[in-house]
Structure formats: structure tokens, C-alpha cells
Structure 1
């Protein structure tokens, strides 16, 4: 067996850092605390990793998780879907409020694509004492044959290695860093306008009878809705399973640190990641 070159070993060491071991993550991670509350769940674990204990209820209150309004007229329902959960802005404000000012956060956009080697970049910040949370459009990285998820997702990153990224909620290990990059970088770029996809709960014929339908035609891509109605009139042929609507979220990584720490000072002064 050939030994790794010194340069390769140094590069691998530079791309490795852990907040928790896998066993610690199993014991310490917080399971999803409620509907659309992956952001608040991530905040609980961020503060835990920073040594600040906060109840899930307090984190959720401070993050101000938005819920889906499933019983609303169609236009309002679609609006609620476009902003359900939380944005990175809510995570940063929520962590700061829930911690009593002990935590500070900074978001780094990863769309449009940036000139960054993601795993070494994450490892560098983790070693400085920062805690990362990824915000990802899971709908654009769906394996063939699997159902399209109906939401974006926030996940705490509790460590990285040269060929692995470790996340919670759910506890997950991505073997290939390029796969992780694709989730929040390349596959986002397939859509010029960042969108959320959701499974329709009614047929095209039912859409036309719902209150607020005219608002939907103006606000949410009339072509998509009209296409569904045309499909309903045909006996055979494919049926549209999803429509795309604008989403409130941004793809990227939020880094958190203890207020006043060296990591926090570096975090707040760090430049934006350069565009490709």
C-alpha cells in the first residue's frame, strides 16, 4: 500500500474538523421540534455546540417559525408555502435573542456559485470556534425514483473530513464533498429563479373553483396553473405533479460564534465569498 504524500496529508488535515464526534452527535442532536421548524431545531443545536443551553420552545419562539396555512384560500396558501419555516435572517436573529446576546451569526451566500473549496473553508471556521448551518434546496438533488421533498432544509454541520460532511436532523454523513456542494451550489443553478416546489393538494379543476384563483393567476405563474387546468380536460396524457413558486430562502451557510470571541470578530469582518 502506497503512503500518502506529505502534501496530500497536509491537505487532508486542513480539510478535517469536528465539533462533535459521531457518538456525541447521536447523544446531543435535537430531533425536529415541530412542523417547518428545521431552522429552530438547528438553532437549538448551534447554541448547544457553543455551550448555551436553550429550550426548543424558546428557540422556536425566537426564530418565529412560519407555518403553512393549509386551510386558507389558495392564494394565501401558496404565499404561506413560499415563506414557511425560517430564513437565515430569522436563524441569526433567533439565535441572538434566544441566547440573550451570547451568540452572533453571519450568512455566506453560495448562490450564485462562489469560488470556494467548501470543505476546507468549513473546516477552517470550525477550528476557529464557529458553528455552521447549511441552508439547502433539497428539491434539486433528488435521486431518480425518489419523491420530491416539499421544502428547503436547514442542517447543523457538526464536522467535516476530506471525503465526508457530517450533519444533524437527520444525522447524516455525505461521503463525497462534491455531492454536498451540488446540493447547495450546482443544482441550485439549474433554476434561474430560486423556487420552492410543492405537491398540489387539489386537481386543476378544483383550482378554478377556489376563492382567490384570480390572485393566483397574477402572482404565481399563470402558465403553470392554466396548464394544469388543460391537462384536467384531457382524458389521457401526463399530469403536472408540481408547480414552482418563488421562495423566501437563500442557499448558503450561516456561521455562528460566541459574541466577543476571536471567531466572532473574524466572522463579522470576513469578506463575502467571491463569485465564480
Structure 2
């Protein structure tokens, strides 16, 4: 009996898997996973919006791939969108009908993820996960080079259902990605190929609007990488540098503004810390 209650408490679906196959929106453009999620959020709330309009409202930022290293790294730290852009984008694209509320999940929280999600999904809320995909990477797979926003269209015991791409992921794996510091790994080759002879690295640690560039000593990391190239020793080399990321890991819950659920969401407390 207890097992049945546990299963019931952690199962809820916005769409069936078949419906998700038919209704999901596939990535609408470069770095546009956030705007893609907003299209599906509004769809799940009964509101249709063109992908181009969602992207315009979310104001997706792009990587500046042709820039010198300092500007390229700055663009990497903010490419795509933050949860705040998703909330604003959904509000604007729906003409004020859809609201969102973000719940921070870093540092770790005292809760069962699937139970918490099932509780809100059953009420009609639509969750979007903002995850650091560079965590919980399956053994043997390459470390992804970005964070990701994904709609969650359902949960079951220890399982979370997501589109774009359609997948069923373990609760533990998703939870690890949802509990991340706001940092990003940038691949060695992406750093070295943008090093120009006249490129000044001092700006990497002199960002007055974000002291984390200095705290992470991004300039020092890059210089170490250069030194490794110059020494050409047969030793393991840095595979990535770590830079600040504009994103926060957690869940944004969306609902229609003029409903009891919408008002309940706005008043809901943060998930308690562990």
C-alpha cells in the first residue's frame, strides 16, 4: 500500500508520450532552447505563439564566434537566455496572460524533486528546468558545451519526461544538473583558436560588473593553457577553463495569471535549504 501511495505521489503528466511526440517544438534556432521551451509552455497553457515571436520576446543572445577571446568568452557566459528572460518572454508573447515563478535549487534543497514537480503539475503548472548539462555526464560521453532549458511534461517514480529532444531521464541525473553553481566549462580548442598575437587577456579579470571573472581567475586559467602549449610536455593538459555563467539552476513554474494557481505560484515560498 505504501509503495502504491509513493508511486501516486510522484506521477503526473501534462502530456502523454504520444502527445509529446506530436506537440513538442524542436530547437527553433542557435542557443534558442529557452525560446523553444516558452513555445511549448504556452502551448501547454492553451496559448499558441509563433516560434519567431517567442524568440523575439525572450531576446535570445547568440555566441560571438568571430570575436577575439575576451569578447567570445563574455558571449559564451550569457548566450541563450536566463530564467528571467523566459519569464519576461512568456509574459510578453502571451500578452500578459502567462506568468512564471523561478525556484532556485542551488544550494541543495530539502525535498524530493519528482514529488514536488508532481504536486505542481497536478495543479496545472507547467515546469521548465534550467540545467547545467555539464554535470552528471554519462561515462564515455563528451562534456556538453552549454546549459539547457527544457520543458518537463511529466514525472513518474524516479523519472522525468522532457522534450527537445524527447527523453526520459532519471530523477538523480536531473537533480544534479538542477543544483549547480553558475559556471560554465569552455573547451580547450575553443579558447586556443581565438588567441590572437595582439589579444589582451587582462580584460578577462577586470569585469567591473561581475567580480566572478576575477574570483575564478579566468585570465590565469588561460595563461596556464598557453604555457602548456609552449612547454609541449607529455603531461595531461587542461581540457576546459571555467567561466562565470549568467544562468541560475532551478525550475520555473508557469501558469495563467488570472487563476488561483497563478496567484498561488507568486506567493509560494522557496524550496527550503538542506
TM-score (norm 2): 0.92
- Does the aligned pair in 2 maintain the 1:204–1:232 contact within 8 Å? no
- Give the direction of change, closer, same or farther, for the CA distance of 1:182–1:205 in structure 2 (3 Å limit): closer
- Give the direction of change, closer, same or farther, for the CA distance of 1:210–1:150 in structure 2 (3 Å limit): farther
1:197 equivalent to 2:185? Answer: yes
- Does the aligned pair in 2 maintain the 1:205–1:232 contact within 8 Å? no
2:254 match: secondary structure:
strand
Q: Where in structure 1 do 4 or more consecutive aligned residues deviate above 6 Å?
A: none
Shift of 1:205: 8.9
Choose 140-149 or 56-65, whichever is displaced more.
140-149
Choose 41-50 or 238-247, whichever is displaced more.
238-247
Equivalence map 1:1-276=2 (5 Å): 6-174=1-169, 176-185=170-179, 188=180, 193-201=181-189, 204=192, 207=195, 209-216=197-204, 218-219=206-207, 220=213, 221-236=218-233, 237-276=235-274
Number of aligned residue pairs: 264
2:152 match: secondary structure:
strand
Which runs of 5 or more residues in structure 1 are unaligned?
1-5
- Give the direction of change, closer, same or farther, for the CA distance of 1:202–1:252 in structure 2 (3 Å limit): closer
Deviations 1:78-126 (A, max 9, x none): 1110000000000000000001111000000000111111101100100
Which runs of 5 or more residues in structure 2 are unaligned?
208-212
Give me the CA root mean square deviation: 1.6
Shift of 1:56: 0.3
- Give the direction of change, closer, same or farther, for the CA distance of 1:99–1:178 in structure 2 (3 Å limit): same
TM-score (norm 1): 0.91
- Does the aligned pair in 2 maintain the 1:203–1:232 contact within 8 Å? no
